[in-house]
Amino acid sequence: MSSKKRQRTANDNDERTILIQFYHSLGGESWTNKWDLDQNVNTFYGVELQNDQVISINLQNNNLTGTLINLRGLESLTSLHLQDNHITGPLIASLALHPQLISLNLARNNLQGIIPSSFVSAEQFVSQDLEDTDARELTLPVEIQIYDILSNIRHKRPFKSTFSTANELGISSTVRSVETLQQHPYFTNNNTTTDTNDPDETFLRNYVLFREWDTATQEDNTSTNKIFRFLDISVNPLTKFYRHTDETSKTSSSSSPSTESILARTTIMSDSTPSNQLLSSSTSSSASSTPLPLLPLTQVMVTKNILTPSQCIEIIKYSENGGGWQTDRHKIYKTVDVDVRHIPLLLKLCNDILKNQILFVLASLFQLHVNDIVMDDLFVVKYSCGDAAINQTSLPPHQDDSVLSFVISLNNTDNYEGGGTEFVNWKSKNRISRPIDAGTMSSFCGLQLHSGKRITKGTRYILTGFLKVKDADNKTRKIGETLFPYPHGR
C-alpha cells in the first residue's frame, strides 16, 4: 500500500472517530434520522464527503440534544448547519478558529454562556425598537445575526468579499439590492472616512449578512486569516458579557472577594447624611458588625481598588486604539464612548473583571444574589477639553434605564479638573462622587437622577456599566421605580 493511501486511510479512521464522538455527544440514539455506526461514513445522514473527507454536516431540525465537541480534526469541513435543534452548553471557540469552516448555522438552539472572543470579530447582534429603524429597510427580523463589515472600513482594509444576490440572502425585493450597495464608496474607496449619518452605512451596519473576517483573535492572542461566508448563532441565550451562573461557579478557578474585604474598601454616600459614612473600618471585626443601609438602592457606594492601575491603562489603550469613538449609541443623552463588545481584547479583559470583581461586589453592596445581576451595556466614556468636534465635557441630568449602574474612574484626578457624577436631586451638599484614584467604582441605582459634571481641563476616562436585576417578579426593579419615578425621562 502506498504511503499516500495509508495516510488517507488513517485520516478516514480519525474522521470516523470524531463523527462517532459527535454522534454520542449530541444524543444520536434519539435523532430523527440516526446514523448506523456499523456502516461507512458515506451513508451517514447529512454528511457530505469529497475525496473521502467530510466537507459538510447538515443536521438541521434532527432532534440533536447535548453539547458540541471540537471538530478541528475534520480538516476539510467547510459547512456545519445544526440549526433548529436542542443543543445545550457553551458555544465553543474552536468552531470560529477552524481553518476551513466558512458556513456555520447554530440558530435556534439552547446554547448558553459567553460568546467566545474568537467570534466577536465576526459577528454582532442587532436588537432595536421598530421606531429606530427606517420602515422601508426593515424587511429582515428586528433581531438578527449580522456581521460588522465596518471594522474593515474603519481600519482602511480592502473589502474583498463577494455578495450574493438579494434573493439568496433572503432579503425582500423592496430593499435596495446588495449589488447596488457593493458599489458604495465605502467599498470602492479605501480612503473614505465613515459617516454615521449616512443611510447607506446604517443599512450596511444593520442588515448586510456577509463580510470578510480579516483576523480572528485566538485564546493565545495570535491571529489567523479567516473568512466566514455565513454565520448565524441567533435565538440562543448567549451573551457577550460574563454572567455568573451555577454552572460557571463550578468551572471557575478564581475566588470571589469576601464581603468583609468589600466593605472594608467601600464608603457610602447618602442624601440623609452630611458626609460620607464609612461602611466599616479597616478591621475585619468592625466590618462584620457594621450593617449595610436598609435601602441600598438609595445609596451611592464608592469602592476602591476594583481595577488595578495596569488594568485602567489597558482599558484606555484598547479604547483609543480599537476602532474609533462613537457619539450616537444612545438616543438622547449621548456620550463619546466605545462599546467594549466591539474590541475583542477589551471585552475579554472586562469579562475577567466582571467575573472576579464587579458582579460579586455589587451583589454584596446591594444585597442581591450574584446570579440575578446581568450586564446589559458596558462602555468606556471619554470627557475631554479642546477644539475637536467630538469633544464632550459633561452630561446633563438623566436617568439610566438600568436597575444598577456603575462608573469606574480610569485615570487619576491629576489628569483633569472638574468632573464627577452628581446626584442632582440630593439636598445634601455632599452629592458629587469624584474619586481621586483610578480603579475606584461608584455604584448606584441607575434610576436615580444624575449627571456628569463638567471638566474644565484635561481628559477624564471612565468605564460605565448598566445592569439588570432578574430576581423574582422583578422585585428590585419595582423598588427602584417606586423610589425614583421617571419625571425626566432617560
Residue 387 CB contacts under 8 Å (≥ 6 apart), including other chains:
none
Helix (H) and strand (E) counts in the chain: 15, 26
Distance between CA atoms of 276 and 270, rounded to whole angstroms?
7
Collapsing DSSP to helix, strand or coil, 466 comes out as strand
**What's the CA gap between 102 and 352, in Å, rounded?**
29
Amino acid at 284: S
Is beta strand 103-105 parallel, antiparallel or unpaired with respect to 337-339?
unpaired
Q: Are 92 and 80 in contact (CB under 8 A)?
A: no
Q: Which amino acid is at 471?
A: D
Q: 354 burial class (0-12, 13-18, 19+ CB within 10 angstroms)?
A: buried
Averaging pLDDT over each range in 206-215, 289-298, 358-367, which range is the top one? 358-367
**Which one is predicted more confidently, 17 or 390?**
17
Residue ranges and CATH numbers for the domains of the chain are 3-122+215-239 (3.80.10.10), 124-207 (no CATH), 246-483 (2.60.120.620)
Q: What is the mean pLDDT of the chain?
A: 74
More confident of the two residues 114 and 121: 114
Q: Which of 137-141, 232-236, 363-367 is least confident?
A: 137-141
What is residue 252's predicted lDDT score, i.e. its pLDDT? 55
Instruction: Give the residue-averaged pLDDT of 233-253.
Output: 72
Query: What's the CA gap between 22 and 33, in Å, rounded?
Result: 14
Is the pLDDT at 190 greater than 70? The verdict is no
Q: What is the pLDDT of residue 406?
A: 97
Q: Which residues pair with 398 in a beta bridge?
A: 450
Write the DSSP assignment of 249-305 as a string of letters: HHH--SPPPPHHHHHHTEEEE-TTSSSPEES--SSHHHHHH-PPPS-GGGSEEEES-
State whether the Cα torsion 295-298-303-307 is positive or negative: positive
Q: What DSSP string describes 62-129?
A: S--EEE----TTSTT--EEE--SSEEES---THHHH-SS--EEE--SS---EEPPHHHHTT-EEEE--
Confidence of residue 387 (pLDDT cuts 50, 70, 90): low
Nearest-angstrom CA–CA distance, 235 and 108:
5
Nearest to 83 by CA among 308, 233, 247: 233
How far is 295 from 297, CA to CA, in rounded Å? 5
From CA 5, how far away is CA 102, in angstroms rounded? 28
The DSSP H or E segment spanning 483 is helix 475-483
Beta bridge partner(s), residue 326? 337
Beta strands in 327-454 (DSSP E): 337-339, 373-384, 395-398, 404-409, 416-418, 421-422, 432-433, 441-445, 450-452
Given a contact cutoff of 8 angstroms between Cβ atoms, the answer to whether 225 and 215 are in contact is yes
pLDDT range class, residue 416, cuts 50, 70, 90: very high
The dihedral sign for the CA sequence 162, 167, 172, 175 = positive
For residues 23-32, b (16+ Cβ closer than 10 Å) or e, as one string? bebbbbeebe
pLDDT digits (tens, 9 = 90+) for 37-89: 999 999 999 999 999 999 999 999 999 999 999 999 999 999 999 999 999 99
Please report where in the chains the cell 467599498 appears, as a residue.
187
The pLDDT value recorded for residue 102 is 81
What is the rounded CA–CA span in Å between residue 386 and residue 9?
Answer: 68
Note the pTM of the prediction, 2 decimals: 0.64
Residues forming a β-bridge with 459:
384
Query: Which of 95-109, 129-143, 234-248 has the highest average model confidence (pLDDT)?
Result: 95-109
Report pLDDT for 425: 85
Percent of the chain whose predicted confidence (pLDDT) is above 70: 66
- Cα dist. 72→80, 83, 96, 122, 482 in Å? 12, 20, 10, 19, 53
Determine the pLDDT at residue 243. Answer: 85
Could you tell me how far CA 46 lies from the centroid of its own chain? 33
